[in-house]
Structure 1
Amino acid sequence: MEGSASGKFSGYSCLFMISFLMVCLGVRSQLTTDFYNESCPNLLTIVRKAVKNAIKTETRMAASLVRLHFHDCFVNGCDGSVLLDGSDGEKSALPNLNSVRGFDVVDTIKSSVESACPGVVSCADILAIAARDSVLLSGGNTWKVFLGRRDGLVANQTGANNGLPFPTDSLDTITQKFANVGLNQTDVVSLSGAHTIGLARCTTFSSRLFNFSGTGAADSTMDTEMVSDLQTLCPQSGDGNTTTSLDQNSTDLFDNHYFKNLLVGKGLLSSDQILFTGDAAASTTKSLVQNYSSDSGLFFSDFTNSMIKMGNINPKTGSNGEIRTNCRVVNS
């Protein structure tokens, strides 16, 4: 725990290193951290500079880029399919419509990378690097990104509708959606911690704010003062597009405050709060929330492992897929 004996933290560090090495060994056969060392040696510097500029322009962009990587990997694997334009694309799926963002930033990064190393770096790999840099530049931890993904040739709107978690899903449903792509319940909780940065639209949590008569809260697990503030921000007559911070106490800093909020009923989304107070949470996710709330080092370690695991969901490698010149369309 923060402020506890150094020996205990060292124990966590040792466990982290062991699990990190196990994760690394699992992905090394397909992806490597030095994949572009010769073909595009300045890649990481180029991406870091572009992400830094984007966050400087709009702090929220850090969360948006992390979310893009998440929403890409959960559909067809980490293959850049979320970036493809088209009315039948993943951008138009219900979990993504008017929600996922940052496509212009990815275009800017891709343009800079193409200028330095034409036809070499995939859009899927750019998403993975940008997500890591977004966490780091927001005050979070860093990790070596495994690279070598190729871009997919098709989007999967149906897969996005069925496979991506919704903010109103039950814990069992969320857990199953994670399991469907090879992630476990520790991954559910640690990756949810990315909600320590970013914003959410009123429409994603308004069902928690008003009961049938419109006179009180529909969800008794939410802090009453927070309910009152959000009812003012998100009136029933509103259009639902007003935004507020996912982490009401630490908006732009990547830390463990998200988990501290859950302990006192200040999780914004239903899918956040059920990690601690849902019926299924008592024997599963609740203890993880408690541990992460008191030990930021443990959260960062588990988050790193989960991001590496997520980044290795069905990557296209070798001759499978392509290296898109434009992330929005397949090569002609």
Structure 2
Amino acid sequence: RLVATTALESVLADIREDLAEFGIEYDRFFSERQLVEDKLIEKALAVLERNDDLYQQDGATWFRSSRYGDEKDRVVIRDNGQHTYVAPDIAYHYDKRQRGMDILLDVLGSDHHGYVARIRAGLQALGEPADALEVQLMQFVTLYRGGEKAQMSTRSGQFITLRELRNDVGNDAARLFYVMRSNDQHLNFDVDLARSRTEENPVYYIQYAHARICNVFGKLDNEGQQWNRGRGLANLVRLDHDGETALVGKLSRFPEVIELAAHKRAPHHVVHYLRELASDLNSYYNDDSLPPIIRDTEAERRDARLALFAATRQVLANGLALLGVSAPASM
């Protein structure tokens, strides 16, 4: 047991380090061993038994999960006396409710969709509301390099670790690529695209838009020019160009996009929004029908345009920060 404990602690420390470097922090890691040592499985099963939700058949102990919407009853103790996976899973979720958690949010691979009904049934049988459990099923990710699918198999020892992927494409690209699609959609992760400095790379495209605005204000400082923020905000009515009204309209949608993403637990909405905002910014920036912003001789209009740029930069930075992605001032 000492060897097993040492190995476990070593591997877990490695996982923690990888996740921390990727910008992911866990408040607590819960070991199944604690369920056993604290007899939490037995406590949960005792409640089920008192409620007449357990029965014996073929030497095994069964949970009447079909009473609570599951497609069939489930074995919780095999005929050899060992618990099935269902028993500790139910006990763990029940313990979280006992510790005061109002929402139990499970993030599972899509191949585990069959577990949802049995866990929800277990919670209901233990007196907890069915909607206390929320499950996000994650579809698989396929990596591509050089246009070829990366062959991976844990059984044969062929796989690419998160650390290797981060070292290859960087934290920013890895984080944004993983959340730019809905979690219920399959993701093809193109490593070459994630490394590229092209408009097709959403990470580069969004960050470049932010850096582009920073460059405008940098040139302003280098030339000794100053802009009056108050005058700019007071003259926003001067922003009547199609590109300007498009930006203003897009900026006004930011709060509702964040609210939608939070409510649906769907960060891909933020990615799509930022990409659209970057596209609107770049289209406006490249429009030759207006003078370059720092060469605009109409002070009121120039300051209004700079106020619009400052607001766009702030929203881009805020959106990237929510995704855990950096907003470089230069690229």
TM-score, normalisation: structure 2: 0.22
Q: Which has the higher strand share?
A: 2
Higher-helix-fraction structure: 2
How high is the TM-score relative to the length of structure 1? Answer: 0.22
Higher RCO (CA < 8 A, seq sep 6+): 1
Larger Rg: 2
